[in-house]
């Protein structure tokens, strides 16, 4: 039996009352703060590079800044997961679970 794939959550740059969230670079800042939490662990030294963690990435979706957070972050560092989820809650941002297209088509 295989374990289920970690879920992904979208934090949208829109507040629950429909206002755009500021500052305009919030998504890059949040993802940047999570950049060291990677599935392969923190890498330092000459082989290290600057970039976002694949578990927490900023994206522009339909003209709205978002951060896509993979639930695997919780297994790597629970406090980082709590930080990201609390950021969304404290700032009253729209948070939704991503649904895979293949899962939607199976449900039909």
Q: Model-level pTM greater than 0.85? A: no
Other Cβ atoms less than 10 A from the Cβ of 23: the count is: 8
pLDDT digits (tens, 9 = 90+) for 39-49: 776 566 555 56
Please compute the mean of the pLDDT values over residues 45-72 and round it to a whole number: 87
Alpha-carbon distance of 23 to 88, in angstroms, equals 14
Domain count, the chain: 1
pLDDT number for residue 105: 41
CATH of the domain at 88: 3.30.70.2340
Residue 100 lies inside a defined structural domain of this protein: yes
Residue 59 lies inside a defined structural domain of this protein: yes
pLDDT above 90 covers what percent of the chain? Answer: 68
Alpha-carbon distance of 39 to 6, in angstroms, equals 12
Residue 16 lies inside a defined structural domain of this protein: yes
pLDDT greater at residue 102 or residue 55: 55
Residue 60 lies inside a defined structural domain of this protein: yes
For β-strands 93-97 and 64-70, DSSP reports them as: unpaired
Phi, psi at residue 83, to the nearest 5°?
-60, -50
pLDDT number for residue 51: 82
Residue 57 lies inside a defined structural domain of this protein: yes
Residue 77 lies inside a defined structural domain of this protein: yes
Measure Cα distances from 17 to 3, 20, 51, 95 in Å.
37, 9, 32, 13
Cβ–Cβ under 8 Å, residues 67 and 25? no
DSSP run (H or E) holding 104: helix 101-107
- Provide the domain limits for residue 63: 8-39+49-107
């Amino acid at each position: 039996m295989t374990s289920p794939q970690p879920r992904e959550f979208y934090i949208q740059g829109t507040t629950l009352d429909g206002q755009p969230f500021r500052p305009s670079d919030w998504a890059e800042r949040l993802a940047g703060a999570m950049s060291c939490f990677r599935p392969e662990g923190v890498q330092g030294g000459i082989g290290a590079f600057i970039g976002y963690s694949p578990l927490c990435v900023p994206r522009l979706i339909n003209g709205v800044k978002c951060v896509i957070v993979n639930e695997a972050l919780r297994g790597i560092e629970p406090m980082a997961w709590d930080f990201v989820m609390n950021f969304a809650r404290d700032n009253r941002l729209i948070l939704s679970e991503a649904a895979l297209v293949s899962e939607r088509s199976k449900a039909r």
